[in-house]
Chains A and B, each alone.
Chain A
Amino acid sequence: MSDIPLLSLGVTIRVEKPSGAPLAGVEVRAIWDFANPYDDIPDEHRVETDEAGLATIPIADPKDWGRKESCDATVTVFKRHHGPVVFGNAEFKNGEARVRIRHFLQRAVPVEVLNSPETQAEQVKWGRLTYVHEEGLVVPASEGTQERKISSVLHIVLVEGGTLGVDHSQPLPPPPAGVKVGYHYHAAPVLTRRLSSENFPSAVRNKLSQVDEELIYHIAHGDLALTEDTDFIFEHHHAPDEPHDAPCNERCRAVPAGYELSAGAENEPSEEFVQLKPGQGAGGNALDQAAGPFAPKVAVRNSTFGGLRAVLIGDVSGPVSSTRWPMGMVSMKELNPRNVVGVVRLAKQLSQQGVRLLLTVGFERSGGKDAHGRGRAIDVSGVSLRHPPSFEAGSKRAETDPHRIVRSQNVDLLESRDFLVILHWGNPDLKFEDPNGVQHVTRAADITAVGRNTQYRNDYDPGTQSRPQLLYRLEPAPVRSHQGVWKHSTDHYTLAGRFFRLVTEFLMREYSCRDRSLGPITELPPDDRRQAEEDDLAPVPAIGSVQGFVIHPDYPKPNQAGSTDGRQRHFDHIHGNLGHNGPAKSGASAGQYSPANPQGYER
């Protein structure tokens, strides 16, 4: 008896959701570009993915390739109610994903993807085709099989229910003549704070909220991936005779994984998404009692969204003369879904301007009772036009691969690439205009001391109208003598001013500045509604002219002794949040949570 070990030649593919969850039962078809001479070997290979989302497409022996060094194939994957990620503003459709691949005879990385979807090449997008070689993907053991390691995998992403997604940041197209306009129709963009959200419905939900619709839209367009545990769960109700690639219909439903889906069940969030229910906090104190409903949270996969990565920057409150700053992964595991919509909208605008890193000192504090603790806030500490420096030695594909983990590292500051609020907004000299219209410049150091209690004019407060008016110190770009410690080119400060303006104005327009109510304006109590309508329709206030929940280095209010809501505590970041920061100090007032007035808090 003679033994001959014989290696199967094939390409292993893994079909998965943007969350990384495997998709089983996906139909995979592959046709190689050369004819097969034998009747029992089909020209078209058909396989189905297993429970791990894996399937292997056979390749004919290279001896039959006709002395070519490579062979090409067309691979299609299909699962009902699913479709491939689309980029930009393209319409998402259910249907098959089609991939052209080239398999090389001798290369160390044997497969090349030929038709990677077109995106802005530098942006970090989910759902792009990725071929991973020698990464050691571990396939867990299942019944009858042992744990195994896969050396090379082509990842293909399919999105479930993507046709349910709606981009509410854009006006919806007019409905066809004669079609009745539904609840969600809007001819103008919907601000993030105005999106409908149903966190604690009393009955099974029959209609997606606008927050959920937009989350699904961003997932379907490669701008977001939730983690497997917090992703949406879908129920589809298609008639048997409907085409297999028919879009989801009005009977199809989707809910975040935090809710029970089964009909008739109370839609309580599952325990794992509830950090602190009312009355269940430390000691069940009054603060918790006043907190009201606690929205289930979602987690952003790998802190990558909207074409960029969010990274944590370390101790930038140290010496501002430091040229190095630490950077690493930031947690985005317990965010309010509305906040996720907001940060994706912001990131999309920034990444279109070339931003690759959103620098932050963190989104959340686990168990905290303020907006950060409840996942409804964002702190922007800066932006960078580069991918993480540790990725720069890799290929362009590696730099833009959203699966890559940002490892903690010290980063050298680069002019015209890195823009930090602490260095490039909080540090240059502050500008203000006195009531006589004369502009003054003062050293920024003077405002960082708690003792400097200058209250500048706040357009929302009639009592401050006679005060000096703070101006946005970065426009025009400060000359060198007013740049503080960091002497940069005018171009650097011009760019810094542009990026920080984009972030600050976005937060004032979309998040809660003065108006703290959340949800559609038609659902607000009269007092909240008047305020909300006024702020929704008003132009974005000038930076430095108003107080609210968007706080930054040119915020009119100083920190009172012991307080943390003034400009001294925000000379290194821009703070924004959705809804009230925390429970009411004493009872429920307009805009704060009470069972009769649920707007403005956990929505």
Chain B
Amino acid sequence: MRHRAFDLHLLTVDGVSVDDSPAFTVRQNDEVISTGVATLGVAQFTVLPRSSDDIYVSWGPADGQSRFSRRVSLRCVGRGDSRRTIEERLWSLGYFFEAEDDGSYVRALERFQADYDLGDEAISPERVPDAVVEQLSKIFNENLEHIRPAKDDESEPDSEPAPELTENCCDVDFTESDDEEATE
């Protein structure tokens, strides 16, 4: 039976691919199972066959003065669409929620639905729209360079036409009139 191989696409806090090559470490059950350099933000590692325990990944500059770290469930890969898989995918992408809290789980799904512009179909813990499930699966099963869609800048519309304003300083013409000269 072969080891399972993974590509970890490390994203910045703004959801785009890390464009440098940080050093990374992967642990499983408190044992280091892989170290190396994540070339252009992609960390490659393998785990034992049938291993499904969480992994703990840390990455950062080689000098180790600052390290990002995440705990990841390997359940998030593959084609499944169970609630557990959906939860792990959301968590991996930064859509957090309280464990065993349906309301919190739904709100995380709704944020994802809005961010990826996936319509406004109602979400419940038991019924997650197909578009949401498919998008989550797509992200984890296709190599998407930019994960989070960029949004256009939004500005509030004016409630009324903005008035034209021009600077209109007083046109003071101090030509040193005689009476002012006399005061000097």
Contacts and interface: CB of A to CB of B under 8 A. Distances in A.
B174 A581 contact: yes
Contacts of B147: 5, 7
A8 B7 contact: no
24 contacts: A1-B7, A3-B7, A4-B9, A4-B92, A5-B9, A5-B140, A5-B147, A7-B92, A8-B10, A8-B11, A63-B91, A105-B96, A106-B96, A106-B97, A145-B19, A312-B165, A326-B164, A329-B165, A361-B169, A362-B168, A365-B167, A370-B174, A372-B170, A573-B170
A132 B115 CA distance: 19
Return the 6 tightest CB-CB contacts between A and B, nearest first.
Answer: A326-B163, A362-B167, A581-B174, A408-B162, A2-B77, A7-B94
Contacts, number: 234
B175 A563 contact: yes
B92 A42 contact: no
Interface of B: 4-16, 18-19, 25, 27, 56-58, 60, 64-72, 74, 76-78, 91-94, 96-99, 104, 107-108, 139-144, 147, 150, 153, 158, 160, 162-177, 179-180, 182-184
A41 B167 contact: no
A58 B183 contact: no
A576 B61 CA distance: 58
Contacts of B4: 2
Contact of B65 (A46, A410, A582): A46
A145 to B, nearest CB: 7
Contact of B177 (A36, A38, A145, A563): A563
B69 A61 contact: yes
Given A106-B107, A565-B177, A4 B8 contact: yes
Contacts of A62: 96
A460 interface: yes
B83 to A, nearest CB: 17
Interface in A402-420: 407-410
Contacts of B179: 458, 461, 463, 547, 557
A549 interface: yes
Contact of A551 (B16, B162, B172): B172
Nearest to B22: A8
Identify whether the interface residues of B are mostly helix, strand, loop, or mixed.
Answer: loop
Given A3-B141, A106-B97, A563 B167 contact: no
Interface string A133-164: 00010000000011011111000000000000
A385 interface: no
Most chain A beta-carbon neighbours within 10 Å: one of B16, B165, B183: B165
A194 B27 CA distance: 69
Contacts of B5: 1-2
Most chain A beta-carbon neighbours within 10 Å: one of B4, B160, B165, B170: B170
Contacts of B144: 5
A149 B77 contact: no
Interface size bucket, A side? 35 or more
Contacts of A458: 179, 183
Contact of B14 (A69, A151, A560): A151
Nearest to A363: B169
B67 A58 contact: yes
A368 to B, nearest CB: 8
Given A106-B107, A461-B182, A564-B172, 14 more contacts: A2-B140, A3-B142, A4-B76, A10-B68, A11-B13, A12-B14, A38-B56, A40-B25, A148-B14, A548-B183, A564-B173, A569-B172, A570-B170, A585-B176
Nearest to B63: A46
A311 B155 CA distance: 21
Interface in A435-475: 458, 460-461, 463
A570 B170 CA distance: 8
A61 B70 contact: yes
Interface string A557-591: 10010011100011001010000011011000111
Nearest to A365: B169
A514 interface: yes
Contact of B171 (A5, A38, A326, A564): A564
Given A4-B76, A9-B68, A106-B107, A38 B183 contact: no
B50 to A, nearest CB: 14
A64 interface: yes
A328 interface: yes
B11 A5 contact: yes
A136 B150 CA distance: 10
Given A326-B165, A557-B179, A590-B184, A2 B174 contact: no
Contacts of A5: 9, 11, 92-93, 139-140, 144, 147
A209 interface: no
B150 A8 contact: no
A4 B72 contact: yes
A106 B108 contact: yes
A329 B164 CA distance: 11
B169 to A, nearest CB: 4
Contacts of A11: 13
B15 A7 contact: yes
Interface string A322-344: 00001111110000000000000
Contacts of B170: 361, 372, 379, 564, 569-570, 573, 575
B160 A148 contact: no
Interface string A348-391: 00000000000001111100001110000101000000000000
Contacts of A80: none
A3 B9 contact: yes
A47 interface: yes
Most chain B beta-carbon neighbours within 10 Å: one of A1, A563, A584: A1
Given A41-B67, A58-B69, A410-B163, A4 B6 contact: yes
Nearest to B23: A40
Contacts of B104: 106
Contacts of B8: 4, 6
